[in-house]
Amino acid sequence: MATYESKKYAHTGANLTNIAATAVADGSVTDAEYQFINTLASNAQTQITARLPLAGGTMTGDLNLGDNVDINFGAGTDLKIFHDGNDSIIEDAGTGALELRASLLNVRNAADTQDMITATEGGAVSLFHNNSAKIATASGGVSITGTATATTFSGSGASLTNLNASNLSSGTVPAARLPSTGKLLKVQTLVSGSNFDTTSVIAFDSSTPTSSEGIEVMSQSYTPVASDSQLLHVLSSAVTNASAGGTVIWSIFNGSTNIGAFANTTGSSGIWNQFTCQANEASSSSTSARTYSVRFGVPSSRGHWLQTNNYNYFLGAKAVYTIFEIAS
């Protein structure tokens, strides 16, 4: 016969709630009951041990985090990685730099079919457009494939090649960059309205006029662009001799060296003649400045350079002396 004590607690506890764990008798929970906690399929300790321990280990499955769930690194959340629902973000909020360390670094597209950036230790860093390298660093500078467009370029252009001169906005193109022959390098013109009336003698014979004969009527300093160019001197003025059939002579000098002499005979007294003459120097010889002068004189009587004669006849003309420098 069952006693009262054996019966008074003989009731199912299936519907009891809020039982404190300390009220469970030691050893009363069986392995069969414990193994189903948190959907464990076998011994709980075996299952826990198989998980990643706090001290570290190797994961054999995926780690999936939802949007806006961060992976945080550092004591002060210095670095975090997350997806905000639109973009994948690596955020460095700590001190120091965010470093990517690799001997070969490739940044590729999502489909893994195109390079966008490559960096090689001890070698080039390359930027790509549509899987084609456009900018690459090198030991001597940067190599660009294609066209470089910028608002402003600065620095030395000494190594630039194949420049289009039509795109130059200002400045002087050196003679060495121009076509080798026939190119006009420089033009310089002197215009004078000064009048001269002289009896100073330049001999009318086979001798070459010297810089001590006649009088100087025009002078200009000239600096050649190139050291091997031709210099063409063109001179135009009005002259006459006071005597019928008289002769006037003029000559162009480079310093004291005669480079051209000319003569004109007046048909009758007081008749003016407008002349144009030219002299050529085969080589400029250097790019040093030099002085060119025009000297005027007569073998006899009186000569007039842009000057009135005895009858006060004045043309109002001007003398024009032009130097053309031509690449040779």
Q: What is the pLDDT of residues 225-271, one digit of tens each?
A: 999 999 999 998 888 777 777 888 899 999 999 999 998 887 666 56
C-alpha span between 290 and 262 (Å, rounded): 22
Angle ∠(249,254,260) on CA atoms, nearest 5: 35
Is the full-model pTM beyond 0.75? no
Claim to verify: residue 202 and residue 320 sit in the same structural domain: yes
Answer yes or no: is 27 within a domain.
Answer: no
Question: pLDDT over 70 for what percent of the chain?
Answer: 80
| Burial tier of 232 (Cβ tally within 10 Å: 0-12, 13-18, 19+) | middle
Is residue 254 within 8 A of residue 261, CB to CB? The reply is: no
292 & 191 share domain: yes
* Residue 319 contacts residue 236 (beta carbons within 8 Å): yes
Q: Does a structural domain hold residue 278?
A: yes
Distance CA 237, CA 240 (A): 10
Tens digit of pLDDT for each residue in 52-83? 677 777 878 888 889 999 999 888 889 999 99
For residue 200, give the CATH number of its domain.
Answer: 2.60.120.1340
Q: Is residue 209 part of a domain?
A: yes
Same domain, 316 and 232: yes
pLDDT reported for residue 313: 46
Please report whether residue 47 resides in a domain. no
Domain interval for residue 140: 104-144
Q: Is the pLDDT of residue 310 over 50?
A: no
**Each residue's pLDDT tens digit, 100-136:** 999 999 999 999 999 999 999 999 999 999 999 999 9
Identify the domain boundary among 96, 115, 144.
Answer: 144
Q: What pLDDT, on a 0 to 100 scale, did the predictor assign at position 257?
A: 96
Is residue 160 included in any domain, yes or no?
Answer: no
| pLDDT at res. 122 | 94
Residue 79 in domain: no
Domain presence at residue 251: yes
137, 195: one domain: no
One domain, residues 299 and 248: yes
Q: What mean pLDDT comes out for the span 129-146?
A: 93
Model confidence at 36: pLDDT above 80 = no
Query: 233 and 131: one domain?
Result: no
Whether residues 311 and 259 fall in one domain: yes
Of 115, 144, 173, which residue sits at a domain end?
A: 144
Task: Give how many domains the chain has, as a whole number.
Answer: 2
Residues 112 and 235 in one domain: no
CA distance 20 to 169: 92
Asked if 116 and 219 sit in the same domain, the reply is no
Least confident of 115-119, 187-191, 230-234, 314-318: 314-318
Instruction: Determine what percent of the chain is predicted with pLDDT higher than 90.
Output: 43
Specify if 116 maps to a domain. yes
